Copies of this chain bind each other. A is one copy, B any other.
Protein backbone atom coordinates (compact mmCIF):
# COMPACT_ATOMS: atom_id res chain seq x y z
CA UNK A 1 0.00 0.00 0.00
CA UNK A 2 1.33 3.35 -1.07
CA UNK A 3 2.77 5.53 1.65
CA UNK A 4 3.31 9.21 1.94
CA UNK A 5 6.89 8.57 0.94
CA UNK A 6 5.95 6.96 -2.32
CA UNK A 7 3.75 9.88 -3.16
CA UNK A 8 6.50 12.35 -2.33
CA UNK A 9 8.95 10.54 -4.52
CA UNK A 10 6.57 10.26 -7.41
CA UNK A 11 5.60 13.91 -7.13
CA UNK A 12 9.13 15.06 -6.67
CA UNK A 13 8.40 16.85 -3.45
CA UNK A 14 9.18 16.21 0.18
CA UNK A 15 7.25 14.22 2.71
CA UNK A 16 6.23 17.35 4.51
CA UNK A 17 4.57 18.80 1.49
CA UNK A 18 2.54 15.71 0.88
CA UNK A 19 1.55 15.65 4.50
CA UNK A 20 0.39 19.21 4.24
CA UNK A 21 -1.68 18.43 1.23
CA UNK A 22 -3.30 15.52 3.00
CA UNK A 23 -4.21 17.57 6.01
CA UNK A 24 -5.19 20.61 4.00
CA UNK A 25 -2.26 22.35 5.56
CA UNK A 26 -1.98 26.06 4.96
CA UNK A 27 1.14 26.77 3.01
CA UNK A 28 1.22 24.80 -0.19
CA UNK A 29 1.32 26.12 -3.70
CA UNK A 30 -1.80 25.58 -5.70
CA UNK A 31 -0.04 23.80 -8.48
CA UNK A 32 1.84 21.53 -6.10
CA UNK A 33 -1.29 20.73 -4.19
CA UNK A 34 -3.15 19.77 -7.29
CA UNK A 35 -0.36 17.61 -8.61
CA UNK A 36 0.11 15.80 -5.34
CA UNK A 37 -3.58 15.16 -5.05
CA UNK A 38 -3.63 13.75 -8.52
CA UNK A 39 -0.81 11.37 -7.74
CA UNK A 40 -2.41 10.26 -4.50
CA UNK A 41 -5.48 9.37 -6.46
CA UNK A 42 -3.53 7.49 -9.09
CA UNK A 43 -1.57 5.51 -6.59
CA UNK A 44 -4.63 4.81 -4.48
CA UNK A 45 -3.08 6.34 -1.44
CA UNK A 46 -4.80 5.79 1.87
CA UNK A 47 -3.54 7.41 5.05
CA UNK A 48 -2.55 4.93 7.71
CA UNK A 49 -4.86 5.58 10.62
CA UNK A 50 -2.55 3.74 12.98
CA UNK A 51 0.51 5.77 12.16
CA UNK A 52 -1.52 8.90 12.41
CA UNK A 53 -2.99 7.95 15.75
CA UNK A 54 0.47 7.13 17.00
CA UNK A 55 2.05 10.42 16.19
CA UNK A 56 -1.01 12.45 16.86
CA UNK A 57 -1.61 10.82 20.21
CA UNK A 58 -5.26 10.40 19.57
CA UNK A 59 -7.37 7.89 17.85
CA UNK A 60 -9.92 8.67 15.20
CA UNK A 61 -12.19 6.12 16.67
CA UNK A 62 -14.88 6.43 19.21
CA UNK A 63 -15.22 3.68 21.75
CA UNK A 64 -18.42 2.11 22.87
CA UNK A 65 -18.96 -0.68 25.30
CA UNK A 66 -22.31 -2.35 25.64
CA UNK A 67 -23.53 -5.73 26.82
CA UNK A 68 -24.51 -7.07 23.45
CA UNK A 69 -26.04 -6.13 20.17
CA UNK A 70 -28.77 -8.65 19.66
CA UNK A 71 -31.00 -6.87 22.11
CA UNK A 72 -32.93 -4.20 20.21
CA UNK A 73 -32.54 -1.84 23.12
CA UNK A 74 -28.79 -1.79 22.80
CA UNK A 75 -28.93 -1.83 19.05
CA UNK A 76 -30.95 1.36 19.26
CA UNK A 77 -28.42 2.82 21.61
CA UNK A 78 -25.59 1.97 19.26
CA UNK A 79 -27.57 3.50 16.46
CA UNK A 80 -27.87 6.75 18.36
CA UNK A 81 -24.15 6.86 18.91
CA UNK A 82 -23.41 6.02 15.35
CA UNK A 83 -25.67 8.78 14.09
CA UNK A 84 -23.40 11.39 15.59
CA UNK A 85 -20.02 9.81 14.95
CA UNK A 86 -20.89 9.32 11.34
CA UNK A 87 -21.23 13.03 10.80
CA UNK A 88 -17.76 13.78 12.00
CA UNK A 89 -16.08 10.92 10.25
CA UNK A 90 -15.18 8.96 13.27
CA UNK A 91 -15.19 5.21 13.37
CA UNK A 92 -16.77 3.16 16.10
CA UNK A 93 -14.70 0.70 18.00
CA UNK A 94 -16.99 -1.65 19.77
CA UNK A 95 -16.41 -3.77 22.82
CA UNK A 96 -18.90 -6.00 24.47
CA UNK A 97 -18.98 -6.70 28.16
CA UNK A 98 -21.86 -8.93 28.99
CA UNK A 99 -22.75 -7.48 32.36
CA UNK A 100 -19.83 -9.24 33.93
CA UNK A 101 -17.18 -7.50 35.88
CA UNK A 102 -14.22 -9.04 34.14
CA UNK A 103 -15.61 -8.61 30.64
CA UNK A 104 -16.67 -5.06 31.18
CA UNK A 105 -13.27 -4.20 32.51
CA UNK A 106 -11.58 -5.84 29.63
CA UNK A 107 -13.84 -4.07 27.19
CA UNK A 108 -12.80 -0.70 28.51
CA UNK A 109 -9.15 -1.62 28.63
CA UNK A 110 -9.17 -2.74 25.05
CA UNK A 111 -10.57 0.58 24.04
CA UNK A 112 -7.79 2.17 26.02
CA UNK A 113 -5.18 0.14 24.22
CA UNK A 114 -6.49 1.66 21.06
CA UNK A 115 -6.09 5.01 22.72
CA UNK A 116 -9.68 6.04 22.25
CA UNK A 117 -10.01 9.29 24.05
CA UNK A 118 -13.74 9.44 23.80
CA UNK A 119 -16.08 6.64 24.71
CA UNK A 120 -19.49 5.97 26.06
CA UNK A 121 -19.74 2.96 28.24
CA UNK A 122 -22.66 1.01 29.51
CA UNK A 123 -21.49 -0.75 32.60
CA UNK A 124 -23.63 -2.42 35.19
CA UNK A 125 -21.21 -4.79 36.78
CA UNK A 126 -18.19 -2.62 37.51
CA UNK A 127 -18.09 -0.88 40.86
CA UNK A 128 -18.23 2.87 41.32
CA UNK A 129 -14.60 3.23 42.31
CA UNK A 130 -13.29 1.63 39.16
CA UNK A 131 -15.50 3.74 36.97
CA UNK A 132 -14.63 6.92 38.81
CA UNK A 133 -11.01 6.12 38.30
CA UNK A 134 -11.47 5.70 34.58
CA UNK A 135 -13.39 8.94 34.43
CA UNK A 136 -10.45 10.68 35.99
CA UNK A 137 -7.88 9.38 33.55
CA UNK A 138 -9.81 9.25 30.30
CA UNK A 139 -10.72 12.66 28.94
CA UNK A 140 -13.85 11.69 27.06
CA UNK A 141 -15.23 9.06 29.38
CA UNK A 142 -19.01 9.06 29.65
CA UNK A 143 -21.34 6.62 31.33
CA UNK A 144 -24.75 5.84 29.97
CA UNK A 145 -27.63 4.40 31.96
CA UNK A 146 -25.84 4.81 35.22
CA UNK A 147 -25.46 7.51 37.75
CA UNK A 148 -22.52 7.95 40.04
CA UNK A 149 -22.63 11.08 42.07
CA UNK A 150 -18.90 11.83 42.07
CA UNK A 151 -18.85 11.95 38.31
CA UNK A 152 -22.40 13.09 37.79
CA UNK A 153 -21.40 15.39 34.96
CA UNK A 154 -20.29 12.35 32.97
CA UNK A 155 -23.44 10.36 33.47
CA UNK A 156 -26.37 10.24 31.09
CA UNK A 157 -29.07 8.32 32.84
CA UNK A 158 -32.71 7.57 33.25
CA UNK A 159 -34.57 8.19 36.46
CA UNK A 160 -35.92 4.73 37.11
CA UNK A 161 -37.53 5.68 40.37
CA UNK A 162 -39.62 8.26 38.58
CA UNK A 163 -40.30 5.61 35.98
CA UNK A 164 -41.66 3.24 38.58
CA UNK A 165 -43.84 5.98 39.98
CA UNK A 166 -45.20 6.86 36.59
CA UNK A 167 -46.14 3.27 35.83
CA UNK A 168 -47.92 2.88 39.13
CA UNK A 169 -49.67 6.20 38.88
CA UNK A 170 -51.02 5.39 35.46
CA UNK A 171 -52.56 2.19 36.73
CA UNK A 172 -53.85 3.93 39.81
CA UNK A 173 -55.54 6.49 37.60
CA UNK A 174 -57.38 3.71 35.88
CA UNK A 175 -58.74 2.57 39.18
CA UNK A 176 -56.49 -0.42 39.71
CA UNK A 177 -55.72 -1.53 43.23
CA UNK A 178 -54.45 -5.07 42.85
CA UNK A 179 -50.90 -4.97 41.53
CA UNK A 180 -48.37 -7.48 40.54
CA UNK A 181 -44.81 -6.91 39.34
CA UNK A 182 -42.94 -8.94 36.76
CA UNK A 183 -39.33 -8.09 37.43
CA UNK A 184 -35.83 -9.05 36.34
CA UNK A 185 -33.88 -11.60 38.26
CA UNK A 186 -30.67 -9.67 37.64
CA UNK A 187 -30.44 -7.38 40.57
CA UNK A 188 -28.70 -4.44 38.99
CA UNK A 189 -29.90 -0.96 39.85
CA UNK A 190 -32.61 -0.73 37.27
CA UNK A 191 -35.15 -3.24 38.54
CA UNK A 192 -34.44 -2.27 42.10
CA UNK A 193 -35.08 1.41 41.43
CA UNK A 194 -38.19 0.77 39.43
CA UNK A 195 -39.70 -1.36 42.13
CA UNK A 196 -38.78 1.27 44.68
CA UNK A 197 -40.58 3.88 42.61
CA UNK A 198 -43.63 1.70 42.25
CA UNK A 199 -43.80 0.91 45.95
CA UNK A 200 -43.40 4.55 46.82
CA UNK A 201 -46.25 5.62 44.60
CA UNK A 202 -48.48 2.83 45.83
CA UNK A 203 -47.67 3.62 49.43
CA UNK A 204 -48.78 7.18 48.91
CA UNK A 205 -52.08 5.74 47.92
CA UNK A 206 -52.29 3.44 50.85
CA UNK A 207 -51.35 0.29 49.04
CA UNK A 208 -48.57 -1.96 50.22
CA UNK A 209 -47.09 -4.64 48.06
CA UNK A 210 -46.31 -7.95 49.67
CA UNK A 211 -43.20 -9.74 48.42
CA UNK A 212 -45.16 -12.51 46.77
CA UNK A 213 -46.68 -9.98 44.42
CA UNK A 214 -43.32 -9.79 42.69
CA UNK A 215 -41.91 -12.50 40.46
CA UNK A 216 -38.33 -12.40 39.28
CA UNK A 217 -37.26 -13.96 36.02
CA UNK A 218 -35.04 -13.43 32.99
CA UNK A 219 -35.80 -10.07 31.40
CA UNK A 220 -37.12 -11.47 28.15
CA UNK A 221 -40.30 -12.81 26.58
CA UNK A 222 -39.86 -16.22 28.12
CA UNK A 223 -39.12 -14.79 31.51
CA UNK A 224 -42.37 -12.83 31.30
CA UNK A 225 -44.26 -15.99 30.48
CA UNK A 226 -42.77 -17.87 33.36
CA UNK A 227 -43.38 -15.09 35.85
CA UNK A 228 -47.00 -14.84 34.82
CA UNK A 229 -47.37 -18.58 34.95
CA UNK A 230 -46.18 -18.47 38.51
CA UNK A 231 -48.73 -15.87 39.50
CA UNK A 232 -51.44 -17.88 37.84
CA UNK A 233 -50.30 -21.05 39.54
CA UNK A 234 -50.26 -19.37 42.92
CA UNK A 235 -53.75 -18.09 42.34
CA UNK A 236 -52.62 -14.53 42.93
CA UNK A 237 -55.35 -11.97 42.48
CA UNK A 238 -54.55 -8.90 40.42
CA UNK A 239 -55.82 -6.63 37.69
CA UNK A 240 -52.66 -4.71 36.92
CA UNK A 241 -49.26 -6.04 35.94
CA UNK A 242 -46.21 -3.84 35.83
CA UNK A 243 -43.42 -5.38 33.82
CA UNK A 244 -39.69 -4.73 33.93
CA UNK A 245 -39.56 -4.30 30.18
CA UNK A 246 -41.57 -4.75 27.01
CA UNK A 247 -40.37 -8.26 26.33
CA UNK A 248 -41.49 -9.44 29.74
CA UNK A 249 -44.76 -7.58 29.34
CA UNK A 250 -45.32 -9.28 26.04
CA UNK A 251 -44.57 -12.66 27.55
CA UNK A 252 -46.96 -11.98 30.41
CA UNK A 253 -49.68 -11.01 27.95
CA UNK A 254 -49.19 -14.14 25.95
CA UNK A 255 -49.54 -16.27 29.03
CA UNK A 256 -52.61 -14.35 30.11
CA UNK A 257 -54.18 -14.86 26.72
CA UNK A 258 -53.33 -18.54 26.78
CA UNK A 259 -55.41 -18.72 29.93
CA UNK A 260 -58.26 -16.87 28.30
CA UNK A 261 -57.79 -13.80 30.41
CA UNK A 262 -58.52 -10.76 28.34
CA UNK A 263 -56.05 -7.87 28.09
CA UNK A 264 -56.95 -5.12 28.82
CA UNK A 265 -60.54 -5.89 29.81
CA UNK A 266 -59.76 -8.21 32.65
CA UNK A 267 -56.13 -7.46 33.32
CA UNK A 268 -54.05 -4.45 32.32
CA UNK A 269 -50.39 -4.72 31.43
CA UNK A 270 -47.76 -2.04 31.18
CA UNK A 271 -44.25 -2.40 29.83
CA UNK A 272 -41.05 -0.37 29.96
CA UNK A 273 -38.64 0.74 27.22
CA UNK A 274 -40.94 1.15 24.25
CA UNK A 275 -38.86 -0.91 21.91
CA UNK A 276 -40.13 -2.01 18.55
CA UNK A 277 -42.10 -4.97 19.77
CA UNK A 278 -44.38 -2.75 21.85
CA UNK A 279 -45.95 -1.64 18.61
CA UNK A 280 -46.06 -5.07 17.10
CA UNK A 281 -47.58 -7.15 19.82
CA UNK A 282 -51.33 -7.44 20.21
CA UNK A 283 -52.86 -5.70 21.98
CA UNK A 284 -50.36 -2.94 21.38
CA UNK A 285 -48.43 -2.38 24.52
CA UNK A 286 -48.89 0.61 26.74
CA UNK A 287 -45.41 1.30 28.02
CA UNK A 288 -42.88 3.80 29.23
CA UNK A 289 -40.71 5.37 26.63
CA UNK A 290 -37.04 5.04 27.40
CA UNK A 291 -35.50 7.73 25.23
CA UNK A 292 -32.38 5.69 24.77
CA UNK A 293 -31.52 6.94 21.33
CA UNK A 294 -31.74 10.56 22.41
CA UNK A 295 -29.70 9.72 25.46
CA UNK A 296 -27.10 7.94 23.38
CA UNK A 297 -26.78 10.98 21.16
CA UNK A 298 -26.35 13.18 24.19
CA UNK A 299 -23.77 10.88 25.71
CA UNK A 300 -21.80 10.79 22.50
CA UNK A 301 -21.78 14.54 22.11
CA UNK A 302 -20.76 14.86 25.70
CA UNK A 303 -17.91 12.42 25.34
CA UNK A 304 -16.72 14.25 22.28
CA UNK A 305 -16.84 17.56 24.08
CA UNK A 306 -14.94 16.30 27.06
CA UNK A 307 -12.36 14.71 24.80
CA UNK A 308 -11.92 18.00 23.01
CA UNK A 309 -11.35 19.73 26.30
CA UNK A 310 -14.56 21.66 26.11
CA UNK A 311 -15.91 21.30 29.59
CA UNK A 312 -19.67 21.70 29.84
CA UNK A 313 -21.09 23.98 32.48
CA UNK A 314 -19.92 23.09 35.94
CA UNK A 315 -22.13 20.56 37.61
CA UNK A 316 -24.65 20.03 34.92
CA UNK A 317 -26.67 16.87 35.01
CA UNK A 318 -28.11 14.62 32.37
CA UNK A 319 -31.05 12.94 33.90
CA UNK A 320 -33.91 11.79 31.72
CA UNK A 321 -37.39 10.78 32.72
CA UNK A 322 -39.43 8.13 30.96
CA UNK A 323 -42.80 9.18 29.64
CA UNK A 324 -45.88 7.10 29.23
CA UNK A 325 -46.99 5.88 25.83
CA UNK A 326 -50.62 4.92 25.88
CA UNK A 327 -51.60 2.12 23.57
CA UNK A 328 -54.02 -0.69 24.12
CA UNK A 329 -52.88 -2.92 26.96
CA UNK A 330 -54.15 -0.86 29.83
CA UNK A 331 -57.80 -0.33 30.64
CA UNK A 332 -60.01 0.70 33.49
CA UNK A 333 -60.07 -1.61 36.45
CA UNK A 334 -63.10 -3.85 36.56
CA UNK A 335 -65.23 -2.57 39.37
Contact = CB atoms under 8 A, between A and B. Distances in A.
Interface size class, chain A = 35 or more
Nearest to A109: B46
A91 B110 contact: yes
B61 A70 contact: no
B96 A82 contact: yes
A68 B54 contact: no
A221 B50 contact: no
Given A70-B75, A72-B75, A277-B280, A113 B54 contact: no
A111 B47 CA distance: 11
A236 interface: no
A114 interface: yes
Nearest to A281: B280
Which of A50, A59, A79, A93 has the largest count of B CB atoms less than 10 A from its CB? A50
Which of A54, A109, A111, A293 has the largest count of B CB atoms less than 10 A from its CB? A54
B68 A114 contact: no
A217 interface: no
A86 interface: yes
B94 A94 contact: yes
Contacts of A48: 54, 113, 115
B61 A69 contact: no
Contact of A79 (B47, B69, B115): B69
A114 B49 contact: yes
A86 B293 CA distance: 25
B49 A113 contact: yes
A91 B82 contact: no
A44 B51 CA distance: 23
A250 interface: yes
Contacts of A91: 93-95, 110-111, 114
Count the copies.
2
A196 interface: no
A122 B61 CA distance: 21
Nearest to A277: B280
B54 A50 contact: yes
Contacts of A307: none
A282 interface: yes
A53 B282 CA distance: 51
A112 interface: yes
A11 interface: no
Interface string A266-299: 0000000000110111100000000001000000
A272 B274 CA distance: 24
A272 to B, nearest CB: 16
A70 B296 CA distance: 13
Given A75-B75, A96-B82, A277-B276, A51 B49 contact: no
A23 to B, nearest CB: 14
A282 B281 contact: yes
Given A72-B75, A114-B50, A250 B82 contact: no
Contact of A46 (B69, B76, B112): B112
Contact of A69 (B53, B82, B221): B82
